[in-house]
Structure 1
Amino acid sequence: MELQDHIMHGVFHSNGFGHLLCLNGLEAVAGSNLSGRQIMNFWDHLCNALRARKVSLNDISTKRGMELRLMHGIAYKAPWFGSWGYKFSRGSYGVIQPMYEKAIDTLRAMPLCILVHYLGSSNHDIPIIFSRYQMLSDHSLTTLGDMFQFMLELKTRMAEENLLDSYTGPGMFVEQSCRWSPKRIEMATRAIVEALKRADFRWVSRQEVRDAARIYIGDTGLLDFVLKSLGNHMVGNYLVRRCLNPVTKVLEYCLEDVSNIVPTQDPKVKTTIHQYRMSKSQLMKDMLYLYKHILKDYPSSLNVGILSVVPTAVRIILDAKYFAKEYHEDQHQARVEIGSEDKLSVYCTIMLRNNNINIEGTTTTLPPLLPPFECVRLRRSATFNELMVEVEKIFRDLYWGMKNLILDSVANLEANGKDLVFGQVEVGGKVIFQGSNKGGIGEEMMYYEGGSNWNKVVVCGCGAREDDGERMVSCDICEVWQHTKCVGIPHHQPTPQIFLCKRCENEIVTLPAFP
């Protein structure tokens, strides 16, 4: 269980619930030729074949030091595992789903122009990287979500050593087989930019731009080619925008002067076309640079206005790493409603009551338990007594801690043992039984995710009220648990032998002195 060098490690329970514990792609396992996406596809097919009901995972996946749940959350509004249908299950440190979704929406919608305005003066690389990919894209990249999504999609289209042949200067990327020379393309681009400068309105239709530039460039094929390739590209100190008018459904162009954003270039560079090549390695470096300087190492001195929410939103997304996928719950129910031998199905679960146990001389009552519903197939003439016997057998087999389960009544229906089940319950309906589980000390604990810590009281300043799997420390006076991170204990330091929470510490300080 402790080994981490598996290509894939999953656990599947007999009642259809599973957990993906480990997934390692090309970079993690030596000699493996399977990518993480290939392995995940196999796991998803396996879960479908085994008729999974629900599968969970703890997403701590990284790529060259970048947390994928943060990158893909900003790019796609979902984690990397979201491509296979995994969604938010629960968060740590008090994070709930609305907080998680709001944090993602906030970062996705962060305007690039705002980031450049505040970060560009102290970091000239960020606006240069932004403009580089705005030139590459054939659609407008205006937000952080647009930028990361385009970069991730571009990475998947590039082989490991694939190079993009490109031309800078006019801000266009030209195929090597293009029938026009770079010089003619540059002349046509300048003519179009000059036409946009002279336009009476900010947005100009494609036809109007083409007609104005045709005075200087007679080759309409060349103009069409440049107009098709020029949208959302840099030309000198101008960014050429292109969009579809939502009313007229006509392509329109405009110019944005970015000279106050992008560092001033050498005038000679503006008038000369330079060819350069971009590799996948360069793309990853740019992505890592933006990740580090915008998301992870964001300067606290720039926490102004809308940018002040960046560190908080990043923390919330990273504190949401438990995801789950609901598989064939509906199909599972539909396929067994009517079976062979005239058997019908109902769905049953149990609720334990008066389940007292003795821990260190103290009698404690376990909280109510309501496991997932299980399918039970019965004859049409079966009684509740017969159903109760079947449910006892199923739950004793499924749960190690319920070997002594005894059921005695129906909790959600007014029913006697001799009553017919299908006289009161529809086919595919749900029945909850009550009972007890008298067993040895320790067995009762095993059907709780928290194990023997089921009775710990969690009241943390972050808002958490239950054990979320993160490291915690207990106050030696009130015995309330809190996250070590929230009380200021560094992750690399062990928990102190004696710890007092702030409330108990303050109460001790305010106690009157003894005479």
Structure 2
Amino acid sequence: MHCWSFQLQVHSHAPTHVVLLVVEEPIEASLNRHCKECQDVGWGQHMVCNKKYHFVLPSSDTMVAACWNGKGGNASDGGLLLPNPTTTNYPNERKSSNNLVELEGHMMHGVFHSNGFGHLLCVNGVETGFDLAGRQILDFWDRLCTGLHARKVSLNDNSHKRGMELRLIHGVTYSEPWFGRWDYKFDRETFCVTQQMYQKAIEALQGMPLCLLINHLVTSNHEIPLIFSRYSTLSDNSLVTIGDLFHFMLELKSRLPPTNHQNPCIDSIYNTGVLAETNCRWSPKRFRWVSRQEVRDAARAYIGDIGLLDFVLKLLGNHIVGNYLVCRTLNLATKVLEYCLEDISNHASPNHQDGLLINNPKAKSAWYKISKFQLMKDIFYLYKYVLKDQKMSNAGIFSAIPMAVRIILDSKYLVKDYCSEVVPLKGMEGKSNIYCTVMLRNNSEEEDDNHKNVINNNAIILQPYECVPLKNSATIDDLKQEVERNFKERGFMVDSVAHLNNAKGTDLAFGMVEVGQNIVLEGRCSKEMGGVSEMFECGAINYLVHCPCGAKEDDGERMVSCDIFPHIFLCNRCEREIILLPSP
């Protein structure tokens, strides 16, 4: 396989470089003739292309691994062997290129078929220890797809950050997955989840009332009311729903300074310099954080009920009491809760911007002490105990939460439509473009059964249309030959032009069809190319899909495969639950 390398500059102000490798994979060199990604995203009816191109941003580990396997020895003996397209490919070079596209762990790996349809296979950013952020990689990939005139690009969204599925967090927050900022949208009905079901699930989670949720959890989970109080104090707008809370927290995250890893407790959104203002009753000496035990000991002289005192200390924090704001935080160094008081009586109303408090020494002093570390910890806590907690399934109105979460997590096949129709070729002198697809008439009942999901009235329509440049003086016979030449690599032989059965082979093509028109040509598959089963990306479909979720075709998810379906089938989870049931 031919391979080209390019050195890319990442930052102009502080130049750093990464390597982009482009590997051309002809079908005869492929380990698998058919594309699983096409089948999973619903493009299994596309004809197999004779070439596809891999675009790889390798990590240092994958470069070393490819080098090792390519040379069959120690990686320190030399660099990765990159084949020169103008020279003969040596066995080691072929092995290196082939191995490179099979390896996992690249910073980015995308692939394009020669028909303009592609797949983004992986993105690994700084979260997984790489040099580039995920958004930088996606920005580059998006520009690459635009420059190559991609038609449609798919991806399987399994993006995680700090143990949280981003498609769930961003779905609740922004009504779209993380990839949505690059216009990747819901496309494939996985587990029989439709676009309408997906949208309703997002709306259900976003609109869940916080007041009802807090009232429900206040006796079993004391931390969630505290988290809500913490951020409602900061927000200029009322936080009414779960969607409001997550949106505010993620927007706040983008405005907080990076965490100080040596002492994350000192990172905050306030300016400590304002504490020295002369018009403030609280001097810097008096404004200090005291431990929970100190607060408890001081209050013990006035409160005899120890249980009541502990309960108040557990819930007290980030509340305004009279003219004071009671601040509460966890000291990450000592792992002890700390409290402090802020006198807000002599301060003007704070200046606001987009619902967030702005540091303004003349407006309000230290309103709140929170680090980015604490913020991410709070987001994860809500993610775990509100969105992923299965105990909600028996909690009245909140029983909708697990179901909505499941629907969103099951909706992970995303597609960006760059230009669903093929980009017109630049008009060459004396030539015009038409757009062609082909229709196969099958005589084999076995082949019809194997492809019944793409058969329409005993015919298979192969999408998408492809642009075919044709001489202005070309005849119908010339049209057939040119289309056959374009599709011959996939084993297609033209018989006739649909709806032009009365046309003679010597008739001028552009006298019968218009420039830019979509036409269908009927034909048959070549037995020498392997027949119908070898022409489609899905290959031979010789199985049935029958899932309780309603799915009737393969959606790329794992399934139980049986030659003979049993009368009763139990998955491992159901079997364990039945064992735990009480005896009658």
Change (3 A) 1:462 1:142: same
The amino acid across from 2:194 in the alignment is I
* Residue 436 of structure 2 corresponds to residue 348 of structure 1: yes
2:162 equivalent among 58, 61, 64: 64
Change (3 A) 1:84 1:466: same
1:396-435 to 2 correspondences below 5 Å? 396-397=488-489, 402-403=490-491, 405-412=492-499, 416=503, 417-435=505-523
* Residue 558 of structure 2 corresponds to residue 471 of structure 1: yes
Change (3 A) 1:182 1:322: farther
Q: For residue 325 of structure 1, give the secondary structure of its aligned residue in structure 2.
A: strand
Provide the C-alpha distance between the structure 2 equivalents of 1:117 and 1:463, rounded to a whole number of angstroms: 37
The amino acid across from 1:352 in the alignment is L
Number of the residue aligned with 2:36: none
1:429-508 to 2 correspondences below 5 Å? 429-440=517-528, 442=530, 444-452=532-540, 454-477=541-564, 488-490=570-572
Q: For residue 493 of structure 2, give the secondary structure of its aligned residue in structure 1.
A: strand
Q: For residue 458 of structure 1, give the secondary structure of its aligned residue in structure 2.
A: coil
Provide the C-alpha distance between the structure 2 equivalents of 1:301 and 1:463, rounded to a whole number of angstroms: 22
Provide the C-alpha distance between the structure 1 equivalents of 2:248 and 2:569, rounded to a whole number of angstroms: 40
8 A Cα contact 2:270 2:366, kept in partner: no
CA shift digits 1:367-421 (9 cap, x unpaired): 4241211011122332332222111111234xxxx23x11112235555244433
The amino acid across from 2:374 in the alignment is Q
Provide the C-alpha distance between the structure 2 equivalents of 1:123 and 1:393, rounded to a whole number of angstroms: 68
1:103-182 to 2 correspondences below 5 Å? 103-161=201-259, 175-178=271-274
How many angstroms does 1:429 deviate by? 1.7
Provide the C-alpha distance between the structure 2 equivalents of 1:52 and 1:411, rounded to a whole number of angstroms: 28
TM-score, normalising length: structure 2: 0.61
Provide the C-alpha distance between the structure 2 equivalents of 1:472 and 1:491, rounded to a whole number of angstroms: 15
Change (3 A) 1:412 1:37: farther
The amino acid across from 1:28 in the alignment is T
Number of the residue aligned with 2:381: 289
Provide the C-alpha distance between the structure 2 equivalents of 1:479 and 1:423, rounded to a whole number of angstroms: 61
Provide the C-alpha distance between the structure 1 equivalents of 2:242 and 2:147, rounded to a whole number of angstroms: 39
8 A Cα contact 1:100 1:317, kept in partner: yes
1:250-289 to 2 correspondences below 5 Å? 277-289=369-381
Report % sequence identity.
48
Number of the residue aligned with 2:479: 387
Q: For residue 109 of structure 2, give the secondary structure of its aligned residue in structure 1.
A: strand
Provide the C-alpha distance between the structure 2 equivalents of 1:487 and 1:146, rounded to a whole number of angstroms: 43
The amino acid across from 1:303 in the alignment is A
* Residue 418 of structure 2 corresponds to residue 327 of structure 1: yes
* Residue 121 of structure 2 corresponds to residue 21 of structure 1: yes
The amino acid across from 2:517 in the alignment is G
The amino acid across from 1:291 in the alignment is Y
Provide the C-alpha distance between the structure 2 equivalents of 1:478 and 1:456, rounded to a whole number of angstroms: 12
Q: For residue 393 of structure 1, give the secondary structure of its aligned residue in structure 2.
A: helix
Moved more, 346-355 or 77-86: 346-355
Which ranges in structure 2 are unaligned for 5 or more consecutive residues? 1-100, 288-319, 325-344, 358-364, 576-584
Q: For residue 548 of structure 2, give the secondary structure of its aligned residue in structure 1.
A: coil
How many angstroms does 1:11 deviate by? 0.6
TM-score, normalising length: structure 1: 0.69
How many angstroms does 1:479 deviate by? 9.3
How many angstroms does 1:227 deviate by? 7.3
Number of the residue aligned with 1:12: 112
The amino acid across from 2:434 in the alignment is V
Q: For residue 473 of structure 1, give the secondary structure of its aligned residue in structure 2.
A: coil
How many angstroms does 1:135 deviate by? 2.1
Change (3 A) 1:442 1:152: farther
How many angstroms does 1:118 deviate by? 1.5
Provide the C-alpha distance between the structure 2 equivalents of 1:428 and 1:164, rounded to a whole number of angstroms: 65
Change (3 A) 1:83 1:353: same
1:102 equivalent among 192, 196, 200: 200
Q: For residue 167 of structure 2, give the secondary structure of its aligned residue in structure 1.
A: helix
Provide the C-alpha distance between the structure 2 equivalents of 1:102 and 1:387, rounded to a whole number of angstroms: 49
Provide the C-alpha distance between the structure 2 equivalents of 1:231 and 1:58, rounded to a whole number of angstroms: 34
How many angstroms does 1:50 deviate by? 0.9
Number of the residue aligned with 2:135: 37
The amino acid across from 2:126 in the alignment is L
Moved more, 429-438 or 114-123: 114-123
Change (3 A) 1:424 1:492: farther
Q: For residue 126 of structure 1, give the secondary structure of its aligned residue in structure 2.
A: helix
The amino acid across from 1:326 in the alignment is D
Moved more, 14-23 or 153-162: 153-162
Provide the C-alpha distance between the structure 2 equivalents of 1:68 and 1:488, rounded to a whole number of angstroms: 31
Which ranges in structure 1 are unaligned for 5 or more consecutive residues? 168-172, 194-216, 234-272, 481-485, 494-515
1:218-257 to 2 correspondences below 5 Å? 222-223=347-348, 225-226=349-350
Provide the C-alpha distance between the structure 1 equivalents of 2:354 and 2:435, rounded to a whole number of angstroms: 61
1:201-212 to 2 correspondences below 5 Å? none
Change (3 A) 1:81 1:108: same
* Residue 454 of structure 2 corresponds to residue 370 of structure 1: no
Provide the C-alpha distance between the structure 1 equivalents of 2:204 and 2:500, rounded to a whole number of angstroms: 47
8 A Cα contact 1:135 1:232, kept in partner: no
Number of the residue aligned with 2:396: 304
Number of the residue aligned with 1:207: none
8 A Cα contact 2:234 2:368, kept in partner: no
8 A Cα contact 1:457 1:479, kept in partner: no
Provide the C-alpha distance between the structure 2 equivalents of 1:492 and 1:35, rounded to a whole number of angstroms: 41
CA shift digits 1:111-145 (9 cap, x unpaired): 21121122222111111111212222233322212
Q: For residue 122 of structure 1, give the secondary structure of its aligned residue in structure 2.
A: coil
CA RMSD of aligned residues (A): 3.7
Q: For residue 422 of structure 1, give the secondary structure of its aligned residue in structure 2.
A: helix
8 A Cα contact 1:11 1:19, kept in partner: yes
Moved more, 338-347 or 471-480: 471-480
Q: For residue 341 of structure 1, give the secondary structure of its aligned residue in structure 2.
A: coil
Change (3 A) 1:20 1:228: closer
Q: How many residue pairs were aligned?
A: 402
